[in-house]
Structure 1
Amino acid sequence: MLVIVGLGNPGTQYAKNRHNIGFMAVDAIHRRNPSFTPWRKRFQAETSEGNLAGEKVILLKPQTYMNESGQAVGAAMRFFKLSPSDITVLYDELDLVPGKVKIKVGGGSGGHNGIKSIDAHIGKDYRRVRLGIGHPGSKERVTGYVLGDFAKVDQDWLEPLLDTVADNADLLVHSNDGEFMNRVHKAVTGKGDNMPEGSTPAGRPKAARTGQSHIRQARTKAKPEMPKEGPLAAMLKGLLGSKDSN
């Protein structure tokens, strides 16, 4: 059994926030995989049971607000007698460009309050699916940024990311993390290989990033054309040239 956790804040006022991309991803898995049951409340969370790649999977969205997410995850893990290695958490990552996905086991929280809470309740040895939302540029702007809604232009990369996460969740069940990341990358960027660190969803350098998934080609200014010589100018040029040769 695998528990797939999406992190976010409950309530309609937070539903479209960048901080809720974990909820969005788990909702997409639920929506696009018909084996899952309707949502029901337990473990201080909304849960749904289904099957992916022949394995039983529990989808879980903590309803305790972000900084207490570990309560729900810990309760579910104890009830099903699971270990941290059976837990996969999907959440927003400021340190990845929008649309980029990275997966790791263990490590630091990166300042994410939901991850801090889960670490405190079950330890650090669970799998983390980090969904890039980009950084606003300064620490002072982080809270307003993550609690702000995705912009309209973000849908260019957000929709294919969520759909591809949902349609390839079976790869998470089999721990085929490399293939999972490559498929998401291809869906978001149109390229087949996973992005190197520091690149953007469209493969542009950071300085050129606009948040859109398509690439705008830089336009170079053409050099102004010099006016063509008239007959009088040509005659004067010829006379001057003759004088200089004497």
Structure 2
Amino acid sequence: MKLVVGLGNPGKQYAATRHNAGTWWISRLADVLHITLKAEPRFHGLCARIGQGDSEVWFLNPQTYMNASGKAVAALCHYYKIQPESILVVHDELDLPPGTSRLKLDGGLGGHNGLKDIAAHLSTKNFWRLRIGIGHPGDKNAVINYVLQPPRKEEAALIDDSIQRSLEVWPLIAEGHYQAAMMKLHTTA
């Protein structure tokens, strides 16, 4: 893994909304790794880097709006020549209930505009995704308002639990043990 991206919208008005589950994950990982994400205008986001050479990993929270996330991802990838299959995009997932997270490579974009923009900028869908379940409002016309609202208290606790469980597989992901990470993450006790 060479780049880990947490999707969300910038600004205090969006910080606690469901759509920012990816940025919550990156912030928690940064705390675990004792790194600080700093503004990097040329990459349109908050960035940090650990390691050097072949073991270098970048962390990015784009400061573009969700629908323009590809601009930030592509800028960093093109500058450091990071291949799409070495990218992990962490994002909110309507199709998973709160408390669930799933890791996958490639596949559909599920109507997620952040993923669509990244795929368009990279000209491929062949990147890893860590999907943090936020649930669905039940009506497709309510989705926009739903993702831009904070989760209810009981949902927030479940989302927090899934973020914590998925952070526990980070060492496996970082080392390239994707199947082991998926097995651990996808297995319920």
The aligned residue for residue 69 of structure 1 is 69
Which SS does the other structure have where 1:13 is aligned? coil
CA RMSD of aligned residues (A): 1.9
- Residue 166 of structure 2: aligned partner: 165
Moved over 6 A (4+): none
Tell me how many residue pairs correspond in the alignment: 185
SS of the equivalent of 1:116 reads: helix
* Cα distance in structure 1, aligned partners of 2:37 and 2:138: 40
Residue by residue over 1:121-153, the C-alpha shift from the partner in whole angstroms, topping out at 9 and shown as x without a partner, is: 002111111111111101111111111101111
- CA deviations over 1:199-218 (Å, ceiling 9, x no partner): xxxxxxxxxxxxxxxxxxxx
Q: Does 1:119 align with 2:114?
A: no
Q: Distance in 2 between matches of 1:185 and 1:80?
A: 32
- 1:3 corresponds to: 3
Q: Measure, in 2, the Cα distance between the counterparts of 1:71 and 1:165.
A: 26
Aligned pair 1:128/2:129, yes or no?
A: yes
Cα drift, residue 155 of structure 1? 3.2
Query: CA contact under 8 A between 2:102 and 2:185: conserved in structure 1?
Result: no
Which amino acid letter does the alignment assign opposite residue 135 of structure 1? H
Q: TM (normalized to structure 2)?
A: 0.89
SS at 2:13 equivalent: helix
| Corresponding residue SS for 1:5 | strand
CA drift at 1:78: 0.7
8 Å contact kept, 1:55–1:173: no
Q: Which residue of 1 aligns with 2:93?
A: 93
Compute the TM-score of the two structures, normalised by the length of structure 1.
Answer: 0.69
The aligned counterpart of 1:59 is 59
Question: Could you list the runs of 5+ residues in structure 2 that have no partner in the other structure?
Answer: none
Matches for 1:117-196 after TM superposition, within 5 Å: 117-122=117-122, 123-184=124-185, 191-192=188-189
Unmatched 5+ stretches in structure 1: 193-246
- Give the secondary structure class of the aligned counterpart of 2:92: strand
The separation in 1 between residues aligned to 2:26 and 2:68, in whole angstroms, is 18
38 and 62 in structure 1: CA distance in 2 versus 1, 3 angstrom threshold: closer
Q: Give the superposition deviation at 1:167.
A: 3.7
The Cα shift of 1:27 comes to 0.6
Amino acid at match of 1:117: D
